[in-house]
């Protein structure tokens, strides 16, 4: 039986408040810092891949970033974010899509992904992700990817994941990417669990 990725994530958001999911962060400090460290202008176009109900979009708007897109496979997650933002939601480009089938409507200055890529356990799906990334981010663009670190969790939301360090991630992305910055984060889930993340800021050559 083929795994229905969209159905899985829709059910997650049907059964839990966005504040209860294990990846929830009240303040996306690490992500925002890496985006700022990239040096992109406030008029740069940032896409938050798998952003769902994350508050990163709120933080980006508050920091003055004028162009922000949020992509997620779950309509429920996107609806939660739009509802939270209220009138400010009109400033955001909302994209409902599976990242492995995403066709970017235009290019983006910076691609941010916290905890999407590590769910792609099939090589073919990772290749489709990289194809979408390359179409979305031109040469000179920026990428921030956060994934479970080597030695971190082996599962999340009932699904297997793939752990990453810098060399493993660069191997998956292939030629054309350079590592600019790497940092770690011990994420504490809403239930008190601890998850070791690695964050990578890269440049598209």
Task: Decide if 105 is inside a domain.
Answer: yes
pLDDT for 13: 63
Query: Does residue 119 lie within any of the structural domains?
Result: yes
Q: Tell me, what CATH number does 57's domain have?
A: 3.40.50.150
**Does residue 18 belong to any structural domain of this protein?**
no
Is residue 21 domain-resident?
no
Inside any domain, residue 56:
yes
Residue appearing with tokens 């899509």 = 97
| Interacting residues of 41 by C-beta distance below 8 A, sequence separation 6+ | none
pLDDT at 85: 96
Helix (H, G, I), strand (E, B) or coil at 129: helix
Q: What is the pLDDT of residues 1-39, one digit of tens each?
A: 566 776 755 566 665 666 555 556 778 999 999 999 999
Closest CA to 108 of 58, 47, 50: 47
For the chain, the domain total comes to 1
Structural domain span for residue 182: 5-9+27-204
Residue 64 CB partners (closer than 8 Å, separation 6+): 42
Task: Report the pLDDT value the prediction gives residue 189, as an integer from 0 to 100.
Answer: 75
Round to whole Å and give the CA distance between 63 and 140: 23
> What is the C-alpha separation between 10 and 14, in angstroms, rounded?
6
Per-residue pLDDT of the chain (205 residues; tens, 9 = 90+): 566 776 755 566 665 666 555 556 778 999 999 999 999 999 999 999 999 889 999 999 999 999 999 999 999 889 999 999 999 999 999 999 999 999 999 999 999 999 999 999 999 999 999 999 999 999 999 999 999 999 988 888 778 899 999 999 999 999 999 999 999 999 787 677 888 999 999 999 9
Q: 199 - beta bridge partners?
A: 146, 183
Report if residue 116 sits inside a domain.
Answer: yes
CA distance 12 to 166: 30
**Tokens in use for 35?**
């985006």
State the DSSP string of 141-182: -EEEEEEEBTTS-SEETTEE---B-HHHHHHHH-TTEEEEEE
Reading the block at residue 30, the tokens are 């690490």
16 within domain boundaries: no
**Which pLDDT belongs to residue 11?**
67
pLDDT of residue 197: 93
In a domain, 65, yes or no: yes
């Amino acid at each position: 039986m083929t795994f229905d990725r969209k159905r899985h994530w829709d059910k997650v958001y049907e059964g839990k408040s966005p504040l209860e999911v294990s990846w929830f962060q009240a303040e996306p400090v690490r992500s925002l810092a890496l985006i700022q460290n990239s040096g992109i202008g406030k008029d740069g176009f940032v896409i938050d891949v798998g952003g769902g109900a994350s508050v990163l979009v709120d933080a980006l708007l508050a920091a003055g970033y004028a162009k922000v897109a949020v992509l997620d496979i779950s309509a429920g997650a996107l609806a939660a974010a739009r509802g939270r933002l209220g009138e400010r939601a009109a400033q955001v480009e909302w994209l409902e899509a599976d990242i492995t089938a995403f066709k970017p409507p235009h290019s983006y200055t910076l691609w941010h992904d916290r905890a999407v890529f590590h769910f792609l356990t099939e090589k073919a799906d990772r290749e489709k992700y990289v194809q979408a990334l390359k179409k979305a981010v031109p040469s000179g663009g920026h990428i921030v990817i956060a994934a479970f670190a080597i030695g971190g969790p082996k599962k999340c939301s009932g699904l297997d994941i793939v752990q990453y360090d810098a060399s493993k991630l660069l191997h998956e992305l292939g030629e054309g990417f350079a590592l600019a910055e790497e940092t770690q984060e011990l994420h504490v889930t809403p239930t008190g669990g601890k998850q070791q993340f690695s964050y990578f800021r890269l440049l598209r050559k």
